[in-house]
Amino acid sequence: MNNLNFLYKIFMLLYIAALSLTGAKAQVYGIGDTVEPFNAKYLVNWKQDEFAYKKGKALILDFWATWCSPCIAQFPKTDSLKNKFSEDLEIMAVTSDKNAVVSKFLTTYEKNFGIKVASVTDDQLLKRYFPHRQIPHYVWINKEGVVAAITTPEHLNEENVRKLIAGDKLSLPLKNEQEDVATYKVLSPLIQIDESRGFPALKSYYYLGNFQKGTQSFSTTPFFDKTTNTNRIRAINLSLSGLYKLACIGLEDFHTSRVIYEGIAEHKKDHIIKKNYFSYDQIIPGNNIEEAYDKMKKFLDLEFGIRSELQNRDMECLVLKTGKGIKLSPFNLKEETIETKDSTIRNNLPLENLLSIWTYGDSPLFPLAIVDETGLDKRQKLSIALPLKEKTDLEGMIAALKKQGLILTREYREMQVIVLSKK
């Protein structure tokens, strides 16, 4: 009898515990809410065994992933801000990627760029506290533990960080992603229903749309989801040439001048005008990257009535060479960007990063691709100062590089291009 009574008590304790667990709802924080202390135990490049948050120091949470190139592109900026305001500010990267994957990735990143990024890994808690669908995603918490802002990366600058530390109001646009997708209706897209079941019926899925309001431009190379055995390519708010650069090359630093339009001038539209942007989503089974790119290219050709192919042609470009008295920075110096009233100074920037700054994206600052013929290690660091008002001034760039012992000239080189023509 005593044994039965003991077992009953144990059962009731377990039952009550289960009820308390299932009834508990995860806290969701918004702007103006005070964040309670929390701990994160899975970490990379952190000085202690766990990250324990508490009031007293401003905190920016940087939600990212190892496959998210726009997220990774912000690391130099967050590192610079973190170092400059180290006494009053902590910036912690947060990802749900596995610790082993993140550790390997950030070790390689530090070797290549000299920047050590501290990150929470295997995250399940913080993404429930601060729900979001798109990354990069930044949560700003002031010294009193109050959420001051939730933003996209363009608001990461010294002025806003100073306001955060001082406890001033941050009047920044809210990165709002809340949509009602809780229920499925009769006419819901089949992909939405299939996704909720883990894609058991998927053979292929393609979506092509126009400019998406309220969403920043970004794209992903094919990324594989083991849980659903699917491969996905996503691009939001890219030009037509941007979509083809992704489909044909899979690289974002392929200069726009290397996309040639032959007999289809109507498709060569201003890349700055938002109405000329497109959004694309593709999901296919398996983990074949070449197949994913090929299917994207064929889909774009079909939708736009275009024939696309890769060719080698002689193209005008900017050629970078070493000159006399070249000035290089030691590999171990940290990268920093200094904005003054009159100039932009980039100290100890790896050569490959320096070149991509002026040729990146749909609307690059310079109209031609840069060909590196210096013979230097692409990780080699150097410093350069440019007048702030002349970031698009090629002559200003040439003069600034010359002071560092580098020569930049207009020449022709054979290079790979994407040719778009009528079918």
Domain containing residue 100: CATH number:
3.40.30.10
- The pLDDT, as a whole number, for residue 328 is 81
**Residue 12: inside a domain, yes or no?**
no
- The pLDDT, as a whole number, for residue 250 is 65
Question: In terms of DSSP bridges, do strands 43-44 and 51-53 run parallel, antiparallel, or are they unpaired?
Answer: unpaired
Question: Do 156 and 48 fall within a single domain?
Answer: yes
Domains of the chain: total: 3
Q: Provide the residue count of the chain.
A: 423
Task: Please name the residues in contact with 232: beta carbons below 8 A apart, sequence gap of 6 or more.
Answer: 220, 222, 223, 225, 281, 282, 283
Last residue within a domain, chosen from 308, 335, 360: 308
pTM of the model: 0.55
CA 67, CA 223: separation in Å to the nearest integer?
7
Last residue within a domain, chosen from 253, 279, 308: 308
Task: Please name the residues in contact with 127: beta carbons below 8 A apart, sequence gap of 6 or more.
Answer: 63, 94, 96
Q: Give per-10-residue mean pLDDT for the chain (423 aa).
A: 46 43 58 90 87 90 90 91 92 93 92 91 90 89 94 91 93 67 45 67 87 80 84 90 87 80 80 79 92 95 94 94 85 76 73 73 78 86 69 76 89 95 90
**Residue 70: inside a domain, yes or no?**
yes
Last residue within a domain, chosen from 166, 181, 200: 166
Cβ neighbours, 10 Å, residue 83: 13
Question: Do 108 and 48 fall within a single domain?
Answer: yes
> Which residue carries 């996704």 as its tokens?
195
- The pLDDT, as a whole number, for residue 387 is 64
Residue 272 lies in domain: 190-308
Burial of 224 (0-12, 13-18, 19+ CB in 10 A): middle
Question: Do 141 and 49 fall within a single domain?
Answer: yes
Q: Among 67, 116, 61, which residue's Cα sits nearest to residue 94?
A: 61
Strand partners, 234: 220, 281
Question: Do 247 and 320 fall within a single domain?
Answer: no
Run of H or E residues at 149: strand 147-151
- Peptide linkage before 285 cis (omega within 30 of 0): no
- The pLDDT, as a whole number, for residue 97 is 92
- The pLDDT, as a whole number, for residue 253 is 66
Burial of 332 (0-12, 13-18, 19+ CB in 10 A): exposed
Question: Do 101 and 142 fall within a single domain?
Answer: yes
CA 149, CA 139: separation in Å to the nearest integer?
6
Question: Do 277 and 240 fall within a single domain?
Answer: yes
Half-sphere exposure of 53 (CA within 13 A, CB side): 25
